[in-house]
A = this chain, B = another copy of it.
Amino acid sequence: MQYPYSERMSRIRSSVIRELLKITEQPEVISMAGGLPADELFPVEEIKRAADAVLSGDNAPASLQYGPTEGYLPLRQQITLIMNDKGVACSPGEVQISSGSQQALDLLARVFLDRGDVVLVENPTYLGAIQAFELFQPKFVAVATDEEGMLPEALEQAIIINRPKIIYLVPTFQNPTGRTMSLERRKRVAGIIERQQVLVIEDDPYSDLRFEGEDLPLLKSLVPDWVVYLGTFSKTAVPGFRLGWIVADEELIGKLSICKQGADLHTNTLVQHVLSRYLNDADIPGHIKKIRNEYGRRRNAMVEALEREFPSGVTWSRPQGGMFLWVQLPAGLDTESLMSKALLEKIAFVPGHSFFVNGGGQNTMRLNFSNSSPDLIEEGIRRLARLVNIQQGKDSSPRNRMESIIKG
């Protein structure tokens, strides 16, 4: 069978991460690859209670019926309160429910991107965003970053040269690097956005997962007119509900809604009712605090293991929140070939290369610390360090050194 595929299919690739996840599903693999929250922390009991209340109530049939494309109004009202707490004033008419943030990216691409339009992204950037945008065949331009995010001069230059349709940013605990734009950087970037009048997508799945340091203002709160904000319940409640939201002005929300009609009519009604009930009845701040504490412990376990096990010449980020840590091996080492050896050792990570839209990053990798216990993280980093040491040509792993000391 020779299918008459569309031209774009020749360019669209599967996400390395989604493919990796299939391999790493085997329980004996220590996976630092995926971006999965810790499912032992899921509020199962509270969700069950909420589901039971919804399905026992007078509104049960409505929770199973077709619903409005914009989303369930009470949930949109609750989201305006969440946004208010984050320093963003908005009305329910400025909130669109999406089937996860992934769909939000897809809807924004529909509304804005023609073939050849420029999208500015961080270097490296989130793979799911590349996948969503790629459908419409834009041109990606990567802006140089340092530990604090996009470099302001590089950003402004890139805007002037490329006149991008949109800038895509994950300002807080970025995927893949775990990096966060500092307050000063946010202000400078906000100034550039306002001056250059470019639309920004602020993708913000991780800022609630801060276990250290002070909250920083959202870009949306600094330049509200130029920023479309994306939020999600995937990291603070449960990802399986596929519930995210978009905050923008009513005109843009209207356009996104029309596109959503064609995409999936509307997001699952039942889980919108259940989540709304859960937000109402459960101790949300208490639950988020529990996640933060545990992720903080896991980040510590990973950083300590890296310090203990890894040879000099390897560097890593030390994020104050989120789920990822970014490792840079000495130039010349290749994390893709490392990965095939890692799978034999029953460990997994994501090679960094695929996060770079213009190539590069062969010596980088993304490590997830949210989905394994501190013990497993330690064991995983130990095995990984052994592989890195071997790959470096000199087997100087601590155990071997120890053995030679003992033998010596």
B-binding residues in A (CB < 8 A): 1, 3-9, 12-15, 18, 21-22, 34, 36-37, 39-40, 42, 44, 47-48, 51-52, 55-56, 60-69, 99-100, 102-103, 106, 110-114, 117, 128, 131-132, 134-136, 165, 199, 225, 234, 238-242, 249, 251-252, 255, 257-259, 261-271
Chain B contacts of A36 at CB under 8 A?
A: 65-66
Residue of A6, A7, A112, A255 with highest tally of chain B CB at under 10 A: A6
Check A268 against B240 for contact (C-beta < 8 Å): yes
Q: Which of B9, B42, B64, B102 contacts A241 (CB 8 A)?
A: B64
Could you list 8 further interchain pairs (A-B, Cβ under 8 angstroms) beyond the known A42-B61, A63-B240, A242-B265?
Answer: A1-B249, A3-B199, A3-B251, A39-B65, A65-B238, A65-B239, A102-B261, A242-B267
Q: Can you list 27 residue pairs at the A/B interface with Cβ under 8 Å? A: A3-B199, A5-B111, A7-B114, A13-B258, A14-B261, A40-B61, A44-B55, A47-B55, A48-B60, A51-B52, A52-B52, A64-B238, A65-B238, A65-B239, A65-B240, A102-B261, A103-B263, A106-B263, A106-B264, A131-B262, A132-B263, A240-B268, A241-B269, A241-B270, A242-B266, A242-B268, A270-B271
Whether A264 contacts B239 in the complex (CB less than 8 A), given A8-B110, A47-B64, A99-B99, comes out as no
Whether A262 contacts B12 in the complex (CB less than 8 A), given A18-B69, A39-B62, comes out as yes
